[in-house]
Amino acid sequence: MSLIPFNPFQEINNIRREMDRLYRFPYSLLENDFTPNLVLPPTDIYETEEQIIVTCDLPGLQKKEDINLQVRNNELTISGVLNKAQQVIQEERMHRKERFSGHFRRTFTLPASVSGDKVKAIYKNGVLSIFLPKSSAEPKHSVDIEFEH
């Protein structure tokens, strides 16, 4: 029977590697040619006393019609299409492709009821900011976006 020296840090290293793997998961999808449509725009959601604020990184939107917001049953859905102007590049000359282009859709359950008719959305400098006033009612509405350049 051989003795293996006890290393108390080995298990910590294993946990760290597993956490790194889990947190790297969405970004590793960018490197896999079979799953390019799973890339989702990074989004932050927080609330104040009066409203819920959602910010979403969507660089490359060109016009208002490229994005759609829906507020229904305490859920916010952000969908649209990112059309990046790209040069025609031969596949064998492409070394890395991380910039997403195509359709996307994300749905979030909101932490409180919101007043759908008073939602304000602004797109500026590649960031979509959505301001959802809190309410006890849950009407369903489409949201108009102020598009600023």
pLDDT digits (tens, 9 = 90+) for 6-27: 677 777 777 877 776 666 554 4
Which of 3.40.640.10, 3.40.50.1000, 2.60.40.790, 2.60.120.590 would CATH assign to domain 41-147? 2.60.40.790
Is the predicted pLDDT of residue 48 greater than 60, yes or no? Answer: yes
Q: How confident is the model at residue 85 (pLDDT cuts 50, 70, 90)?
A: low
Q: How many CB atoms lie within 10 A of CB 121?
A: 19
Q: How many CB atoms lie within 10 A of CB 136?
A: 8
Would you call 12 exposed, middle or buried from its count of C-beta atoms within 10 A (0-12, 13-18, 19+)? exposed
